[in-house]
């Protein structure tokens, strides 16, 4: 065997030895980052104060007060002792605080179930006002109003028909109920001329509009 052949064989043997007897380490690295906290929003409605009834009959000489939202002249009354006669008119305000927190939160206030009906010579109706005492009855759609909170995006807050609420106003919506006893309905009036049912509202989340 010549020297050239011996050199080739030695080289092959050396490669085989390296392949079978040596290990290679792979690199690795670990990285951690701070976690995050996700906080839920809020949807809530609460009654504000106890409704006060006023006698707002026109022409009363003792009209020493005004109703809190509509500003009608009158005086406070206790329905347990107040005795109505044809031509009288009474009014009360039911106020609610709406709390909405959420970037994509819109909620409908449902007043369609207000039990305000005519009975025994008395007729009743209601109007809706926002927290600034601006009438928004015209924004009712099927007895419902769509509210958005202060965290909502510009597209929600700017949508036509949506009513914006904030975190500071004590009452965001007022339901003003008026009961009238027409003078030409005297024959229809009985001992119990009118019984007002529950005045309640509900708030339900809806898809943003």
Give the pLDDT band (50/70/90) at residue 189: low
pLDDT value of position 17: 47
- The residue-averaged pLDDT of 40-63 equals 86
Residue 19, both tokens: 């392949």
Residue located via tokens 């064989």: 9
Asked if pLDDT for residue 67 goes beyond 90, the answer is yes
pLDDT value of position 197: 60
Distance between CA 131 and CA 166 in Å, rounded? 9
Distance between CA 171 and CA 165 in Å, rounded? 9
pLDDT in tens, 91-142: 999 899 999 888 888 898 887 666 555 556 677 788 999 999 999 999 888 8
Q: pTM value?
A: 0.75
pLDDT value of position 135: 95
- Cβ burial of 182 (10 Å; 0-12, 13-18, 19+) is middle
pLDDT in tens, 3-32: 555 555 455 555 554 555 566 778 888 888
Residue 51, both tokens: 């409704």
pLDDT value of position 21: 58
């Amino acid at each position: 065997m010549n020297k050239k052949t011996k050199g080739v064989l030695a080289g092959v043997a050396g490669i085989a030895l390296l392949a079978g007897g040596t290990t290679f380490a792979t690199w690795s690295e670990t990285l951690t980052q701070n976690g995050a906290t996700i906080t839920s929003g809020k949807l809530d409605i609460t009654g504000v104060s106890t409704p006060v009834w006023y006698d707002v009959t026109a022409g009363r000489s003792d009209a020493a007060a005004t109703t809190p939202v509509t500003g009608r002249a009158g005086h406070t009354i206790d329905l347990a002792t107040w005795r109505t006669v044809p031509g009288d008119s009474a009014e009360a305000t039911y106020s609610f605080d709406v709390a909405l927190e959420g970037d994509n939160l819109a909620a409908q206030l449902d007043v369609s179930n207000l039990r305000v009906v005519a009975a025994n010579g008395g007729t009743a109706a209601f109007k809706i006002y926002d927290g600034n005492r601006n009438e928004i009855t015209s924004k009712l759609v099927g007895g419902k109003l769509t509210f958005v909170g202060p965290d909502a995006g510009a597209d929600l807050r700017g949508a036509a028909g949506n009513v914006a609420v904030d975190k500071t106003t004590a009452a965001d919506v007022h339901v003003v109920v008026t009961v009238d006893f027409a003078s030409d309905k005297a024959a229809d009036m009985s001992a119990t001329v009118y019984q007002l049912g529950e005045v309640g509202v509900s708030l339900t989340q809806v898809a943003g509009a």
